Structure 1
Amino acid sequence: MPIERLSAALDAIIPPGTDSEELGRGFGGPTGPAEGPVWIAEHGHLLFSDIHNSRRMRWHPEQGISIDKEDTQNGNGQTLDREGRLVVCHHFSRRVDREEKDGSVTVVADKYRGLKLNRPNDVVVKSDGAIYFTDPPPKVPFTPIDHPPELDVAGVYRVSPDLQRINMVVRDLINPNGLCFSPDETILYVNDSNRHRMLIMAYDVEADGMLDLGSARLFCDMRGDDRPGGPDGMKVDVDGNVYCTGPGGIWVLNPQGEHLGTILIEGRASNLNWGDADWRTLYFTGARSLHRIRLSTTGIPVPRGALPTS
């Protein structure tokens, strides 16, 4: 698919003539798209979620696509912590898990003040080890029909590095979805994918990891574009540019929130992440497909602190 260029500044990020490449399709289904791509540097492959089929998929540059894990409880967003352990949001079990190196599973979060979470959706890990995740409202069939909601709020949460404390850091969004930190981790971006809002919000991060709610500000408003898609997965590069799924594909925004252009996709884009040894490939998922595009910029490694190699 071609690139929609709205500003000449996009040329320094996506050189003219660059196109995205489809790596596979046939994932997802009526209850959920492909989601949650994360690059596993030590193995040189990408993992991503097939929500509808409750499985995790693997893409390898030589081996192609295969099943990595079955019965993921409708796993969605996932990332790596500082030790390279996979941290995954699950819709059906309504919790966030960490997969240990020995194969065991540690529950990162499943309740807030004794009440079961709604539907953990996306997750990031700060360089100090704190885990932040979004918990949009419950929604059948993403969550079982016999699991009534216990919380009356859709929140954004922070779990302390030792997993002993969970704090709700944002509570006034309708459908909190994707989230990411600025390169220096002084800003947390969170999008609200409610179809009537389609917003990306920015919050200043305080020294203790909490958010300064008084600093809440609109970073980007995607309303008014009637193409398929909306704010969902979101990442930043080392220069502070923000990449967020939106109407038409993946919106590329400069640090001031100006829309520089869109990486177009047929249908809608769902999530994205950086990968390859130099962290200059943007992998992204669609409703039924997996894609990649090579960029001139460098993404923030996962986990944070991983260094690019030539």
Structure 2
Amino acid sequence: MASRPHNSRLRRALLAALVTASVAVPVSGAARPAAVPAPAPTALAPLRTVAPAALAARYAATRSDIRAAERTALAHGDTRRAGSLRAMARPGRHFLSFDGRDGGRTAEVFGDLSRARRIAVLVPGSDTGLDQYGRLLAGAEALHEQLGGGAAVVAWLGYAAPATVSTQVLTTGRADEAAPVLRRFVGELGRAAPGNRISLLCHSYGSVVCGRAAAGLDVADIVLYGSPGAGRGSAAGLRTPATIWAARGRGDWIADVPHVRIPLPSGTLGLGADPVSAGFGARVFDAGGGGHSDYLKPGSLSLANLARIVVGQAPAGEVRHA
């Protein structure tokens, strides 16, 4: 009798996979953002300091790469991509890294990184790329505004995020590819800005990326919100001394995603345990009543609580210690 709920979850997960695959396959031949060409970026040395002069030189180099990618997109006839890149190259935008190939990789800074003592690294989820960058931009700006002076936000799009309608979003494959890149970035940032408090804020599939990258990361907090799973069975399985936080808005459809791990001949289907479940072991805080895309919405409880975590304060409202 005890096996029936488990079997039901397996059936739901397999059904979700089949439905996703049936939708993904017909659209796979459509034009993809990754198909827009871009030149190879400047080879940058590892980030070793956040001194103003060093940052200014790095920002100038990435701005030059963005403009080169804009020219290539225009030559290719993709005016939408070119417009996105033109906005990124405007004065006042600051990128630690940029690569316009394969859908785009970026790390944009909001605030004065040379003066910041608290740094939030935003790790976005599925359907995030250069052509959908506005959502990540708006969230990073809202968080920086909420944090105020003395803090900086880095919007890290350092991997090929899967499409929501795809088979890749059902596995940890893209997260496994992204994990060493995120570890390297956070390691460089920590060494360049020693003594700063760094927090990882991981949304949706970004939670899977953070979960797979967590081991050995020198960060104060890892926050999993709107999460389909972390690619691990528990907070302890992340193997990190960081405080693990989790939250889900009451209007978030992600609550209906089955949390299972099913071995298959070609890999594993599913993203692991629910981070807001009591058995996972995270510190669960109130994210309000918003939906899946509302966590960084100005004026929201979720944004306020994320900012409180970044500065080392307890979130407002109920916090469940699992």
Bigger proportion of residues as helix? 2
Which category describes the TM-score, using the shorter chain as reference length?
A: under 0.3
Larger Rg: 2
Q: Which has the higher contact order (CA 8 A, sep 6+)?
A: 1
Bigger proportion of residues as strand? 1
